[in-house]
Amino acid sequence: MDARLQKQLEFIREIDKVKSVFRKTWLLDQSRYENDAEHAWHLAVLAAVLEEYAETPMDTARVIRMVLIHDLVEIDAGDVMIYAEADRAGQEEKELAAAERIFALLPDDQARDFRALWDEFEARRTPEAIFARGLDRFAPILHNFHTRGRAWREHGVTAEQVRRINQPIKDASAALWQVASDWIDQAVDNGWLIGP
């Protein structure tokens, strides 16, 4: 087999592992935690459905490619809950090392392209990265709100944390931030999230 295709297939096999990286987000039916592959898939569909709410005109196809690969680094670095602020120390270095290893499995030109897309997501400066990051924060709030705050309750998360840490949603879309804010307020009222 051609060396180029062989590298591409090796990458495709390697990323199968992200299906076994579980996040601290319950599926809506509360049967289990969601994994990174499912999460990336859901974000890609969110991008297609919610593109009209982006603050800045952007290329949705690029957002979709970005969210599809944004968590591949967790194959090596693992998932750390966004509210586990103390545990996140060192996570950035681990993710950088993972990006070095995983994207390099691809042929050079694709390794550069995929890595650039991941770097763009991490840097959060382009309209596409800002929207992708906003969706990445919006989805877990949707899941938490519709599971009576299950993961929030399990991990003692406060409304102050949820509002502060999820500001990227506001940068991505005022409309989605309004929805998220309403859910957070209702969650506090319902005792699913530590208020005020």
| DSSP alpha helix (H) spans, 70-173 | 74-77, 91-103, 108-123, 127-145, 150-154, 159-165, 167-172
The answer to whether residue 144 forms part of the interface with a copy of itself (CB under 8 A) is no
The answer to whether residue 156 forms part of the interface with a copy of itself (CB under 8 A) is no
Please give the radius of gyration of the chain, using alpha carbons only, rounded to the nearest integer.
17
Cα separation of 158 and 15, whole Å?
34
* The two structure tokens encoding residue 179: 């929805």
Of positions 23, 35, 132, 168, contacts a copy of itself by CB under 8 A: 35
For a copy of itself, which stretch binds (CB under 8 A), given 58-66, 77-85, 150-158, 163-171?
58-66
Of positions 48, 84, 123, 174, contacts a copy of itself by CB under 8 A: 48
Q: Which own/partner contact pairs does 113-122 have at CB distance under 8 Å and 24+ positions apart?
A: 114/69, 117/62, 117/65, 117/66, 117/69, 118/66, 118/69, 118/70, 118/72, 118/73, 120/66, 121/66, 121/67, 121/70, 122/95
* The two structure tokens encoding residue 145: 């709100």
The answer to whether residue 137 forms part of the interface with a copy of itself (CB under 8 A) is no
Site string for a copy of itself, 62-101 (x = CB under 8 A): --xx--xx--------------------------------
Of positions 41, 56, 100, 195, contacts a copy of itself by CB under 8 A: 41
Residues that bind a copy of itself (CB under 8 A): 1-2, 5, 8-9, 11-13, 15-17, 19-20, 27-29, 31, 34-35, 37-38, 40-42, 44-46, 48-50, 53, 61, 64-65, 68-69, 106, 110, 142-143, 146, 175, 179, 182
